Amino acid sequence: MADADGNVYVDMTAGFGAALIGHTHPHVVAALRTQSERMLHALGDVYPSDVKVALEARLAQMAPWPARVILGLSGADAIEAALKTAVLHTKRSGVLAFEGGYHGLSYGAVSVCGYKRAFREPFARQLNANVCFAPYADSRVEGALERSLGAVDRAFARGDVGAVLVEPVQGRGGVVVPPEGFLSALSERAKRVGAVLIVDEIYTGLHRTGGVWRAVDDGCDPDIVCLGKALGGGLPVSACVMRDEVANAWGDPDGEAIHTSTFLGNPLACAAAMASLDVLESPETQVAIRVTGARLADALDILAVDPALGITRVTHVGLLAGVTVAGGVARSLAVMRAMLERGYVLLPGGVAGDVLTLTPPCTLTAAQVAGFAQALDASLRAVRP
């Protein structure tokens, strides 16, 4: 991609993760062209477009159980829909979320964000007071699983928790991978107390870190899964995919819908999502994600063992990777700047801001991975801890 001055960059973020299949994928562009001649805007879910109905049916069919879908425009929208569904279903106000978790910044979503305090503090007095946080289980920290599940048990003992919200791998929180068994233990516990388990697959899902549903592959049995980012292939669309029994709590609308918005299920966004799913489901894309992810992981693992580079940790799962640098946020920002000057776009992440976060598209070539690794090596040497 190029900036306003014509400088060309390799986008190692895939536009915050949305362009998993690459920017401006021809199949998505063709679908948009066709849809733009048919219908730009319909009446949300009152008189929906055919393509919105088709997208909802397709997502429901992809779900691990009989499902219903609420579409949204952003990841945060999907989280809001999920939180409302849990309240309707359980009639309980409490929400359990995780420290370091990121779910978007609208009021409902920011209230369940355990990410940076700065995101919450100015609004703290207006945020949902029924949210409590447990430590996330980081597979690299000894005893973290027990500590996390212990906190989950204590929260459940309060008796008012109706929703549990978790990322299968914390993305923005610094690419934190939980140990095997964490997600399944969480779903067992949620079931035991009758809480709705909401899995936020907005970053991890749709093959970025494995299958369509990363958490399900990890042995978890969620009640609601939220998708976004890669779903629209670059257009704004998200989905709250709900197990039928849980979704039934919305009842049959016999008057005005109590959860909707003007652009919900926008036909262009839905057409882009249908095309994006075609590409994501193709064996070629899945091979590309695996191969590119492995190439990137190899390159990062080589850098990680060079003590001169000041890397304290490298984590990678598919096309989601984090490089923690010594020197904190000041150094990670300086390295990010140095990388931009060398033609590579990346983002800082992690609660302390010291994790260079990589969520590249699957179209990244071997030469681009090699060029990126060389540039990162040079940038880390140039910016000392």
Catalog residues that contact ligand PLP under the rule CB under 6 A. Answer: 16, 74-76, 102-104, 167, 171-172, 200, 202-203, 228
Q: How far is the CB of 2 from ligand PLP (least distance, A)?
A: 24
* C-alpha to C-alpha distances, 68 to 65, 148, 271, 333, nearest whole angstrom: 10, 31, 19, 42
Q: Which is nearer to ligand PLP, 22 or 104 (CB)?
A: 104
Q: Which is nearer to ligand PLP, 138 or 200 (CB)?
A: 200
Q: What's the angle, vertex CA 243, arms to CA 237 and CA 248, rounded to 5? A: 100
Q: Which is nearer to ligand PLP, 67 or 215 (CB)?
A: 215
What does the block give as tokens for 19? 């362009």
Q: Which is nearer to ligand PLP, 203 or 372 (CB)?
A: 203
What does the block give as tokens for 32? 């948009």
Amino acid in position 117: R
Q: Which is nearer to ligand PLP, 109 or 277 (CB)?
A: 109
Q: What's the angle, vertex CA 305, arms to CA 301 and CA 310, rounded to 5? A: 110
Q: How far is the CB of 103 from ligand PLP (least distance, A)?
A: 5
- Cα radius of gyration rounded to whole Å, the chain: 21
Q: How far is the CB of 381 from ligand PLP (least distance, A)?
A: 30
Nearest to 365 by CA among 263, 262, 257, 291: 291
Q: Which is nearer to ligand PLP, 102 or 213 (CB)?
A: 102
Q: Which is nearer to ligand PLP, 171 or 193 (CB)?
A: 171
- Residue 238 near residue 75, CB atoms below 8 Å: yes
Q: Which is nearer to ligand PLP, 44 or 171 (CB)?
A: 171
Q: Exposure pattern of 100-116 as b/e (b: 16+ CB <10 Å)?
A: bbbbbeeebbbbbbbbb
Q: What's the angle, vertex CA 274, arms to CA 240 and CA 235, rounded to 5? A: 75
Closest-by-Cβ residue to ligand PLP is 75
Q: Which is nearer to ligand PLP, 165 or 383 (CB)?
A: 165
Residues 328, 330: Cα–Cα separation, whole Å: 6
Contacts of 288 (CB under 8 A, 6+ apart): 362, 363
Q: How far is the CB of 75 from ligand PLP (least distance, A)?
A: 2
Q: How far is the CB of 202 from ligand PLP (least distance, A)?
A: 4
Q: How far is the CB of 232 from ligand PLP (least distance, A)?
A: 10
Q: How far is the CB of 317 from ligand PLP (least distance, A)?
A: 13
Q: How far is the CB of 106 from ligand PLP (least distance, A)?
A: 7
> Burial of 305 by CB count in 10 Å (0-12 exposed, 13-18 middle, 19+ buried)?
exposed
Order of strands across the sheet that contains 67-72 = 67-72, 238-243, 224-227, 196-200, 161-166, 94-98, 131-134
Q: How far is the CB of 102 from ligand PLP (least distance, A)?
A: 5
Please give the backbone phi and psi of residue 3, each rounded to the nearest 5 degrees, phi first.
Answer: -95, -175
What does the block give as tokens for 91? 């009639």
Contacts of 3 (CB under 8 A, 6+ apart): 9
Q: How far is the CB of 70 from ligand PLP (least distance, A)?
A: 15
Q: Which is nearer to ligand PLP, 178 or 338 (CB)?
A: 178
